[in-house]
Amino acid sequence: MDSSRLAERMRHIGASPTMKGTTAAEKLRREGVDVVDLGAGEPDFPTPPHVCAAAHAAIDAGQTKYTSNVGILELRQAVAARYLLDYGVTYAPDEVVICAGGKQALFHAALGLFGPGDEVITHIPGWPTIVEQIKLAGATPVVVTTHAETGFVPRAHGLLAATTARTRGLVINSPGNPTGALLSEADARILAKEAAANGWWIVMDLCYERLTYNNVPHNLPGIVAEVMRDRLVLAGSTSKAYAMTGWRLGWAVGPKPFAQAANALQSHSTSNASSITQHAALAALTGPQQCVTDMLNEYQQRRDQVLEWLKEEPRLRAVVPQGAFYVFPDISDFLSPDGFRTSLDFCDALLAEECVVTTPGEAFDAPGFMRLSYATSLERLREGVTRLIRFARKHAPK
Ligand SMILES: Cc1ncc(COP(=O)(O)O)c(C=O)c1O
């Protein structure tokens, strides 16, 4: 079909590029090829059994109908209780909206808070959906680049330097995808003070909040809420912490007018998150948390191993991620005008020659890098890194 028949907004929006590798891998696997998939943006662990059992019980108990748009009260209470426990912030159940994933929570934030004429600041390398959602809301994304030399850490002074009279808000992702970088508590304090003084919103994408390493203090909600609770929106999710990506459950937490806006948006789009999933999420949030700790420990072991293995080829330079489950090495030493010109070319050829799925930096607005997901077994990781190093050396510019 002629794409000029589509709505004007579709000229500016592309499908999420992070799923492309997964689709290519699936095709190769169906052909019987031994693919190493380091592209996945999701845990390789199964959803914990007690969570699955709660979903079965919900079906058996007939919890298969619409729920209120904002989600069942028990789950909203459980989200509020978790934030009180984890961060010391107090939210009422009517300040919590249960959504179909953190992605929808962030979409509500974009549509509910930003519009034409507004500039919204975020940081790159970053998860592409944040920028696309700001555009879908009709607002203008302003991206601030973070750098490998400083661990890709978004800094308050860099973000604030990008503000103008049109600034309406900031969207911060911490821990960050694809870098694993954390916003520091000190920088959160500075941002909150400035945002409060200027009437900006702060939207925090905390979808990887339970996956931080070495107990680095990361109480961003506590710090920001203390200064500007009435303009803070927190987006969270069961996807990554509880290995529940397919269940589609997240939440938006924010002041009542925002929660009402999100309720209205949801009531005219998807209504409610799946009733069965909501009961599963309730079990995830209120049940034993050892499963989260166990997965986190495993991710940390894998992270340390991958970083160690990558050192076998010093031209693959990787920052130590502080959270999430990705490493984001700089591969620019392997790019050249006569060889692979871009990281996209590099990753495509790596898939074609060595059957290793990765995600090129271009997907995160960061050409010259590649994302390796370590949400896969140590054995497959070892195989994937071995193939990557073999490939990189073979094609290194002379
Ligand atoms: C940075 C970031 N935020 C939010 C999400 C949303 O996840 P979900 O919609 O599964 O909760 C993702 C998923 O990949 C992500 O990487």
pLDDT per position as a tens digit, 357-380: 999 999 999 999 999 999 999 999
What was the pLDDT predicted at 9?
86
pLDDT per position as a tens digit, 33-89: 999 999 988 999 999 999 999 999 999 999 999 999 999 999 999 999 999 999 999
Q: Does residue 126's CB lie within 6 angstroms of at least one atom of ligand 1? A: no
Cα of 81 from ligand 1 centre, angstroms: 22
Q: Does residue 251's CB lie within 6 angstroms of at least one atom of ligand 1? A: no
What was the pLDDT predicted at 1?
59
10-residue stretch averages of pLDDT, the chain, 398 residues long: 81 74 84 93 95 98 98 98 98 98 98 98 97 97 98 98 98 98 98 98 98 96 98 98 98 98 98 98 98 97 98 97 98 96 95 95 97 97 98 92
Q: Does residue 250's CB lie within 6 angstroms of at least one atom of ligand 1? A: yes
Tokens 């549509």 correspond to what residue? 111
Q: Does residue 324's CB lie within 6 angstroms of at least one atom of ligand 1? A: no
Which candidate, 240, 230, 229, places its Cα nearest to that of 206? 240
Cα of 218 from ligand 1 centre, angstroms: 18
- What is the edge-to-edge ordering of all strands in the sheet holding 140-145? 96-99, 250-253, 232-237, 201-205, 167-173, 119-124, 140-145
Cα of 207 from ligand 1 centre, angstroms: 6
Cα of 181 from ligand 1 centre, angstroms: 15
Q: Does residue 96's CB lie within 6 angstroms of at least one atom of ligand 1? A: no
Please name each of the domains of the chain with its CATH number: 3-46+290-395 (3.90.1150.10), 54-286 (3.40.640.10)
Cis peptide before 154 (omega within 30 of 0): no
Cα of 2 from ligand 1 centre, angstroms: 32
What was the pLDDT predicted at 23?
81
| Ligand 1 atom closest to residue 104's alpha carbon, by position in its atom list | 9
Q: What is the pTM of this model?
A: 0.96
| Ligand 1 atom closest to residue 102's alpha carbon, by position in its atom list | 11
* Helix/strand/coil percent split, the chain, to 5: 50, 15, 35
Token pair, residue 339, equals: 């060889």
| Ligand 1 atom closest to residue 103's alpha carbon, by position in its atom list | 9
What was the pLDDT predicted at 8?
87
pLDDT per position as a tens digit, 127-142: 999 999 999 999 999 9
